[in-house]
């Protein structure tokens, strides 16, 4: 993730910050006076749902008000985002936005029903995660460098599985191929578990997906892991090097999830939610719970989250535009 922000990214961040300023009408003095709803674009039991429930429980304790989860799966989170932007901006309907919904969808869909930089107010990041590259044990390579060399010897022979077209693992894999020179053809599956079964059968030689899903197979020797694509090693696969440690730091690709609100939500509410999020990430029990699902807890001010979103648009738009990947 780049740290230098260009004028274009600064303008994007300014747009989000300006939207927050426009939302400065006074909040109800007794907020929160009733149950808060968080809309999630994943089904019950999915990674976003699990994170949302952990965060909701911790935030409810901090805010002194109950928080419920409303699952709105479908269309890469578009259904959920549309529900959020259509809700009253009163602080009682919030959303869990992934990097897909806040960034990737802008380039994957020609007609997106929402504009993430116009219609969503960033509140705070909640967590970051990353994918791991694994292979069937029959692949004759034991490091990423060896794997890249093998792929060049036999171009297009390797098949790389992804849980779904346009998913964060897919986008991370696109970056991986571009930055390392790895030669492989993509095979999309209906879900992560389906892709795992394909790798175990040998239908595909490589797979990129989350460490929580893949760690059990790696521990049993049914798959072998090459690199973790995050900035730091993950506890669940402690012996697997980061992609930077493997010599390809430019292929680092982290995904994040954060709390957002409808445009025009009062600034006082957005700031109160952001403060509450920073409070829960300091609690060891919350941090431990996230580590068990291979996530690193994060928190930010609304302004810092807005800057991150603008920065991610700048970082990923060239790759996604060049890939010409469209899902509609």
Averaged confidence pLDDT in the chain: 91
CATH topology of domain 132-251: D-Maltodextrin-Binding Protein; domain 2 (3.40.190)
Decide the pairing of beta strands 185-188 and 93-98. unpaired
What's the rounded Cα separation, in Å, for the pair 129 and 98? 11
Give first-to-last CA distance, the chain, whole Å: 27
Give the pLDDT of residue 14.
44
On the question of a common fold for 7-129+255-323 and 132-251, the answer reads: yes
Give the pLDDT of residue 169.
96
* pLDDT band per the 50, 70, 90 thresholds, residue 16: low
Pair of tokens at residue 195: 């892709």
Angle between helices 192-201 and 211-219 (to 10 degrees): 30
DSSP code of residue 202? T
User: 3.40.718.10, 3.40.50.2300, 3.40.190.150, 3.20.20.410: which CATH number matches 7-129+255-323?
Assistant: 3.40.190.150
Give the pLDDT of residue 155.
81
Alpha helices by DSSP H, listed for 261-301, are 267-280, 284-291
| pLDDT (mean) for 205-217 | 96
Decide the pairing of beta strands 93-98 and 36-40. parallel
Give the pLDDT of residue 120.
96
Instruction: For residue 202, say if its preceding peptide bond is cis, omega within 30 degrees of 0.
Output: no
Contact assessment for residue 214 and residue 132, using Cβ atoms and an 8 Å cutoff: yes
Read out DSSP for 150-178? HHHHSTT--EEEESSTTSHHHHHHHHHHH
Give the pLDDT of residue 29.
65
pLDDT digits (tens, 9 = 90+) for 125-182: 999 999 999 999 999 999 999 999 999 998 878 999 999 999 999 999 999 999 999 9
Residue 49: CB atoms within 10 Å? 18
Residue 303: CB atoms within 10 Å? 14
Question: Which among 118, 182, 132 is positioned nearest to 152, based on CA atoms?
Answer: 182
Percent share of the chain, pLDDT over 70: 91
Pair of tokens at residue 134: 């694994």
Give the pLDDT of residue 328.
86
Contact assessment for residue 99 and residue 190, using Cβ atoms and an 8 Å cutoff: no
Pair of tokens at residue 6: 């260009």
pTM over 0.85: yes
**Least confident interval from 73-77, 125-129, 222-226, 298-302:** 73-77
What's the rounded Cα separation, in Å, for the pair 97 and 258? 5
pLDDT digits (tens, 9 = 90+) for 26-66: 445 689 999 999 999 999 988 999 999 999 999 999 999 99
Q: Where are the domains of the chain?
A: 7-129+255-323, 132-251
Contact assessment for residue 131 and residue 208, using Cβ atoms and an 8 Å cutoff: yes
**Greater pLDDT, 17 or 92:** 92
Surface-to-core class of residue 308, CB atoms within 10 Å of its CB (0-12 exposed, 13-18 middle, 19+ buried): buried
């Amino acid at each position: 993730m780049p740290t230098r922000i260009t004028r274009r990214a600064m303008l994007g961040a300014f747009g989000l910050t300006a939207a927050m300023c426009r939302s400065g009408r006074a909040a109800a003095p007794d907020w929160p006076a009733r149950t808060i709803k968080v809309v999630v674009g994943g089904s019950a039991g999915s990674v976003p749902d699990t994170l949302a429930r952990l965060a909701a429980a911790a935030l409810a304790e901090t805010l002194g008000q109950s928080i419920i989860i409303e699952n709105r799966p479908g269309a890469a989170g578009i259904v959920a985002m549309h529900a959020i932007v259509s809700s009253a901006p009163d602080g009682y309907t919030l959303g869990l936005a992934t990097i897909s919904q806040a960034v990737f969808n802008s380039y994957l869909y020609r007609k997106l029903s929402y504009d993430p930089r116009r219609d969503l107010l960033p509140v705070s990041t909640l967590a970051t995660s990353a994918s791991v590259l694994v292979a069937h044990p029959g692949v004759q390579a034991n490091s990423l460098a060896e794997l890249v060399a093998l792929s060049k010897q036999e171009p297009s022979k390797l098949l790389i599985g992804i849980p779904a077209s346009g998913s964060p693992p897919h986008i991370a894999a696109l970056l991986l191929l571009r930055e390392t020179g790895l030669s492989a053809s993509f095979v999309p599956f209906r879900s992560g578990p389906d892709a795992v079964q394909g790798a175990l059968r040998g239908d595909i030689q490589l797979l990129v997906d989350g460490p929580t899903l893949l760690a059990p197979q790696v521990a049993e020797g049914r798959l072998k892991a090459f690199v973790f694509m995050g900035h730091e090693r993950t506890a669940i696969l402690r012996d697997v090097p980061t992609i930077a440690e493997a010599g390809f730091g430019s292929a680092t690709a982290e995904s994040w999830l954060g709390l957002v609100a409808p445009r025009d939500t009062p600034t006082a509410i957005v700031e109160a939610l952001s403060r509450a999020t920073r409070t829960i990430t300091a609690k060891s029990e919350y941090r431990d719970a996230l580590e068990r699902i291979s996530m690193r807890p994060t928190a930010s001010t609304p302004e810092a989250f807005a800057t991150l979103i603008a920065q991610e648009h700048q970082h990923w738009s060239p790759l996604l535009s060049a890939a010409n990947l469209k899902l509609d």
